[in-house]
Amino acid sequence: MKLPPFELHAPDTVEEATALLEHFGDEAAVYCGGTELLLLMKLGFAEPRHLVDVKGIEELRVLEAVDGTLAVGGAVTHRAIERSPLVRERWPALAAMETRVANVRVRGAGSLGGNLCFSDPHSDPATFLLAAEGQVVLRRGRDRRRLLAVRDFVLGPYETALERGELLAEVRVPELPSGSALVHTKLAFRERPAVTVSCLARVEDGLVAEARIAVGSVGLVPRRASAGEELLLGSPGDAEIEAAGEAAAEASDPVADLNGSVEYKRNLVRVLVGRAFRDAVAQAS
């Protein structure tokens, strides 16, 4: 398989990159790791005439803590995140999730920002970031800047809230609240996960003061399960945890595909929510 012909552009700044994207419109695509884009081009599913290579933009390679939030530039690779001493120390759940993304070759080339922009429904990061209440910074030119929650950025399969000429410049991951733990788990039959579940539990005086459940890879978009979260507050027993898993299974809105039927996927969600929540409570305690 051969790539279709294209012109490669290598801007030095976000302003230059967004100007190119706005100028070429639908004929342009952002190139960073290329782990998804180049495959689509080889298969004939995408034929952008212009690739805007953002790997060399220094601003997009930032990985630092700012006021209790981890700022991850749009071009920072999964591998850089998982190996970062800063992330391992202060965001260990993020580092743990990243170690299980695809394979080491993909993690070495692909970026967290690129993963979110591609919006593959079978993916780990969006589910994790929903539970972590992550945000993205979108840029156009020097002055146009938008801050969106990840839940508002991922709109559907391969669809995001990016507007013409915009670039995902940064992913922001807040530190977990004191006394809390976030556990990400999944089941994968192939390289892409069949189900992803992230659960956060914050424990105060032996009681669950806050719970978050995010489920992805079973439906068209990852979702929070607020009805299930409410059932886990206080001192939940097996019955409440099972009910929360059921609520999450319904909220995930699964679709049948090669990974299984709708009911099979709901059952996977029920089981993994229980496991992830119990692990989160144990770690938080």
Regarding whether 168 and 64 lie in a shared domain, the answer is: yes
Cα–Cα distance, 22 to 3 (Å, whole number): 24
The CATH number linked to 21 is: 3.30.43.10
Residues 155 and 229 in one domain: no
Domain that holds residue 33: 7-53
Give residue 143's pLDDT. 82
pLDDT at 2: 86
| CA atoms of 74 and 235, how far apart (whole Å) | 40
| 2 within domain boundaries | no
Same domain, 69 and 135: yes
How far apart, in whole angstroms, are the C-alpha atoms of residue 21 and residue 165? Answer: 5
Cβ(185)–Cβ(176) under 8 Å?
no
pTM for the whole structure = 0.96
CATH code for position 227: 3.30.390.50
Summarised one tens digit per residue, pLDDT across range 220-235 is: 999 999 999 999 999 9
What is the reported pLDDT for 142?
86
Residue 28 falls inside a structural domain: yes
Rounded Cα distance, 198 and 48, in Å? 35
Percent of the chain surpassing pLDDT 90: 96
Q: Indicate if 63 and 49 belong to the same structural domain.
A: no
Is the residue at 156 inside a domain?
yes
**CA 9 – CA 275 distance, rounded (Å):** 47
Q: Which residues touch 204 (CB under 8 Å, ≥6 apart)?
A: 179
Total of domains in the chain: 3
Q: Which residue, of 141, 174, 207, is where some domain finishes? A: 174
